[in-house]
Amino acid sequence: MSKFDPASKVQKLRHFGEFGGVNPSITDSSTYTFLHGEDMFETFAGHMEGCFLYSRHWNPSNKYLADALAAMEDTEAGWITASGMAAITCALLQLCNTGDHIVTSVTTYGGTFAFLKNYLKKFKIDVTFVNITRLESIEAAIQPNTKVIYTESVTNPLLQVSDIPKLSKIAKKHDVKLMVDNTFTPMIISPARLGADIVVYSMTKFINGKNDCVAGAICADQQFIDDLSNVNDGTAMLLGPVLDPLRSSSILKNLHTLHIRMKQHSNNACYLAKKLFKAGVNVVYTGLENHPQHELHKKIMNQGFGFGGMLAIDFGTVEKANQIMQKMQESDIGYLAVSLGYFKTLFSCSGTSTSSEVPEDIQKQIGLSEGLVRFSVGLDNDIESTSEQIKKICEEGGVI
């Protein structure tokens, strides 16, 4: 296990408000004044550290949050976006030009899959989809024009664990960038410390933790972030997916409780997975010893945060899955809803929701059952009772 402590890195940040407030002041401005004309010129040229010109480029509130995320990830810098998809698309488009090639995990979030499979065709950027757990297939897929290997730390929704250190070695050997979406496992896994060049997040999920906003982040070296924000050709600067400063301020405050929440999400998911597995439910969880990458997850995870709050249960058919999910919602176990990282448990049938962009033949090819339900386990104080309720519903539904 890694000995890195991302929670302490966040806690040690010193961000004071302009009047001494314990929280940084929120900068509610789209544009900023300069005392001298030369200062404006130098800022547009990227030579004035600490100066702001326009909030689509940088604003103080977003900079506070970006610095906090960079500290958490142990990268030189960060950039804040208005959604997780904006983080993914801006980073990939910054790395790739027409005629380039990407190698990616075929098991990935549906929106990401659609962007890679369908949208990048517009730019004549080719994509090869691979089983990310088969390292030999990844290396075999690399071409002379490959620019990126893309994956998720723990894949959505099959919960495969990416061997980031070995993927990093492959990437460096072929002089390509390794980009990792760490949305499922903030603080639990630190991809940049394991060799990833770029780490992206949907902060909508665990980082914010309240499902009251949409936001994303990119963490990388200073040069990449400078290139992203360059006024002449920076992808994030020119596409303009800027997050509102008020939201940045709110997420920054929530970030300081992330370590507590991740521990509780993990504890609850682990308890639930073990109890349901023992009862005969077909459950997938990286914290179970029967998970194919259980030992790998143990090897690359940071200590003290658990295996995460995500698990999956295969109910066989979509009809059975819908029946059980509806019953769980009626029993106040959680909500039949997409997304994750909320304080209530959320569950959805992946093949017909968050992975619906993946064609049915590919779903079958990768082993995504039509009855697979993805659970984002909440912060229940009485997970024992929740476990018994789910077990009872499974028994009544003929799953056990």
CATH assignment at residue 332: 3.90.1150.10
**Judgement on whether residues 238 and 273 belong to the same structural domain of the protein:** no
CA–CA separation, 338 and 190 (whole Å): 25
Give the Cα-Cα-Cα angle 392, 398, 400 (nearest 5 degrees): 65
What per-residue confidence (pLDDT) applies to 48? 58
Domain's final residue, options 233, 255, 277: 255
pLDDT tens for residues 219-247? Answer: 999 999 999 999 899 999 999 999 999 99
> Residue 199 is part of which domain span?
6-255
**Judgement on whether residues 227 and 275 belong to the same structural domain of the protein:** no
Work out the pLDDT band at 357, boundaries 50, 70, 90.
confident
Work out the pLDDT band at 45, boundaries 50, 70, 90.
confident
CA–CA separation, 197 and 178 (whole Å): 5
Domains held by the chain: number: 2
pLDDT tens for residues 234-280? Answer: 999 999 999 999 999 999 999 999 999 999 999 999 999 999 999 99
Residue 233: count of CB within 10 angstroms of its CB: 10
Residue 352: count of CB within 10 angstroms of its CB: 15
**Judgement on whether residues 332 and 287 belong to the same structural domain of the protein:** yes
Domain's final residue, options 209, 228, 255: 255
Average pLDDT, whole number, for the chain?
A: 93
What per-residue confidence (pLDDT) applies to 50? 66
Query: Does residue 1 sit within a domain?
Result: no
> Helix (H, G, I), strand (E, B), or coil: what is residue 172?
helix
Residue 389: count of CB within 10 angstroms of its CB: 15
Q: Which of the listed ranges 8-17, 38-47, 319-328 does the model predict with the highest average pLDDT? A: 319-328
Query: Does residue 274 sit within a domain?
Result: yes
**Judgement on whether residues 94 and 183 belong to the same structural domain of the protein:** yes
Q: Are 104 and 116 in contact (CB under 8 A)?
A: yes
Query: Does residue 248 sit within a domain?
Result: yes
**Judgement on whether residues 314 and 348 belong to the same structural domain of the protein:** yes
Which pairs with CB-CB distance under 8 Å and at least 24 residues apart come from 356-359?
Answer: 356/110, 357/110, 357/111, 357/113, 357/114, 357/117, 358/110, 358/113
CA–CA separation, 394 and 320 (whole Å): 10
Domain's final residue, options 255, 276, 299: 255
**Judgement on whether residues 86 and 235 belong to the same structural domain of the protein:** yes
CA–CA separation, 107 and 358 (whole Å): 9
- Greater confidence (359 vs 263) lies with 263
Q: Are 201 and 82 in contact (CB under 8 A)?
A: no
